[in-house]
A and B are shown apart, each in its own frame.
Chain A
Amino acid sequence: MPATYYQRSGLRRYFQETGEVWLFARRFFKEALHRPFEGKELLRQCFIVGNQSLFLVGMTGLIMGLVLTLQTRPTMEDFGAEAYMPAMVGVSIIREIGPVVIALICAGKIGSSIGAELGSMKVTEQIAAMEVSGTNPFKYLVVTRILATTLMVPLLVIFGDAIALFGSFLVEHMKGDVSFRLFFNKVFRQLGFGDLIPATAKTFFFGFAIGLIGCFKGYTSKKGTAGVGRAANTAVVVASMLLFVLDFIAVLVADIFFDL
C-alpha cells in the first residue's frame, strides 16, 4: 500500500511540476515580448554568464580535444588512417561532443548559480520586496537570465569547440608533425552546413533549457535555506537530463532535414 501511494504521489508530482515548468515558460515568452525591457540588466547577465564560465569552458574544451585525439590516434594509426584524424575529431567535436559536454558544464556552473541566487532571494524576501516596490521581478530576474543563457551558451559552445580543436591540433602537431594550416584545412574541408547549422541551432535550445530550469527552481523554491540547496541541486539534475532529451530530438530533426 505505501509503495503504491508513494509511486502515485511521485508520478503526480512529476506531472504537476512539468505543467508548472510549461506555465513558467509561457509566462517567460509573454513577459519577454512586452515593454518595459530590462536591457541594462540583460547585458549585465550576459556578462556574468559568459565571464563566469569562460575559463571552465576553455579548460574543458582543451582537455576534450587533447584526450579525444590522444585516445583515437593509435587506432587510426593501426588502420593507416591517421591522415583522417583532423576531419574525424572536427566532426565529432562540432556535431556532438562539443555542444553536449559544454552545455553540461554550463548546466552545472550557470544553472546551479541561477537556482541558488534566485532561491536565496526568494527566501530572504528580496523578490517580494521588488514586487511591492512596483517592479515586476519576473521580468527583471527571470526574463533577463533566460535570455542571457539562451544567447551566451551558443557563444560558449563555439569558444569551447575552437579550444578543443586547438587541443587536438597540439597533439597532432606533436605526434604527427601536422602544421596548423594543414590541420584546420582538413577540419573545415570535412565540415558542411549539415554539421554546423544543427549543431549551433541546438545550443540555443540548450541555453534556454539551462536558464529556464535554473530560474524555475530558484524562483519557486520553498522551505527556507534547505530549499535553496535543493533548488541549486535539482536545477543541475533536471537541466542535464533535459539537455540529453533535447539533443536526441535535435539529432532526429537534423537527420530529417540534413540527411546526416
Chain B
Amino acid sequence: MDAPTAAAAPTTESAALAYVRTAPAAAVSPPLATAGVLAWLRERLFPNLSSSLMTIVIVLLLIWIVPPLIDFLIVNATWTGSDREACLATAERPVAGACWAFIGDRFAYLMYGSYPIAGRWRVDLFFAMLAFGTAWLLWLEAPRRDLGAVYFFAVLPVTSFVLLHGFEAIGLPVVDTALWGGFTVTIVVAAVGIVVSLPIGIVLALGRRSELPAVRLLSTLFIEFIRGVPLITVLFMASVMLPLFVPESWSPDKLLRALVGVALFSSAYMAEVVRAGLQAMPKGQYEAAHALGLSYWQTLRLIILPQALTVTIPNIVNSYIALFKDTTLVFFVGIFDFLKTIEVARADPNWATPVTSATGYVFAALVYFVCCYAMSRYATGIEKRLSTGERR
C-alpha cells in the first residue's frame, strides 16, 4: 500500500523537481502565413528540400515538353488545304505542325466509312436516337426511366438495325455491312456490346451464384474461360468458328461475327461486375423478402437486383469504358472501325506527309479520350452520390 502515497507525494513538492519548468516557455513566433498564395506555395510546392527539388524538375520538364507540343498542335499547324502540299514544311514555315486539314478533308470517311452518301441521314438519325436513349437512362431523375430501359434495350436495337441495315419493304435500301465504317461502326459495336452484355451478364452472375450445381458449373466455366483468354483470340474464334457451325446458307457476315465475339466477351466481364454487386447485398435483404412471402424471382426483381445494380453502376460504367476501348480490336477481323479508318486515311498518298500519322493518332486519341473520360466522370459522379450516406 506504499505506491499511492509515493505517487501522491510529488504534487506538493513539484517545484523541487528538475524536469518541471518554473517559468513559462517563450512564445513561438506566429507562422508567416497559413492562408493565401504564399502559404499555399510553401505548403504544396516547397515544403522541404526534396519536394522543392521535385517541383523544380517538373517545372523544367513542363517547359521542355509543353511549348513544343503547343507549337505542333496549334501554332505551326495547318488548318486548311486540299492536299499534302498544304502540310509540307516550306521556307517561311520550316517546321510543319499538325495537319488538321487532313482530318477536315477525311472527316466524313472517319465518321461514316464507305456508307453511301445519300443514306448518311440514317446514320445521323441513329446517333440522335442513341443519344436520346443514353441521356434518358443516365439522367437519374428523368421521368419514366422504366420506359427508357424498354426503349434502350428493346426498341432501339430493332429500329437501329432497320435504319442502318435498311428494309426494302418500307423503302429503305439495304446497305451491306461491308460498307459500314468509321466512328459509326465503333458506336455500333460498343452499343451492341452494352445492350447485350448487361442482360446476359445478369443471367450469368445469377447462374454462378445459383444453388443448382449444373447451372453454377456451366456459368462458371463460361465466365472463367472467356476471362482467361485475350479478346483477339475470341474474335478470331468467332470469325472462323461461326461460319463452320451454322448451315452454309446462313453465312453470317463479318460484322455480325465480330459482334458475337464482342458480346460474349463483354458478357463474361459484366457477369463478374454484377456478381460483385450481388455479393454486396446483405443477407438480411433476402431473408426479409422471404419472410414477406416473395418467391425467388420476385425477390430478385423487386428487392435484390434494383439495389445490387444501383451500387454497381460505377463498375458497370467502368466495364463499358473497357468495352469501348476494346472495340478497336475488331480491326483484326477486317472491320473498318474508327481506328482502322484512321489507319487507312493516314496511308492515303494524297495526304502522305511526315506529320500525317501523328496528326491522325492525336485526333483518334482525342476522340477516344473524350468518350471514355466522359463515361468515367459520370461513374465518379454516381459513386459520390451513392456514398452520400457514408460521408461524414
Task: Tell whether A pairs with B.
Answer: no
Name B's A-contacting residues (CB within 8 A): none
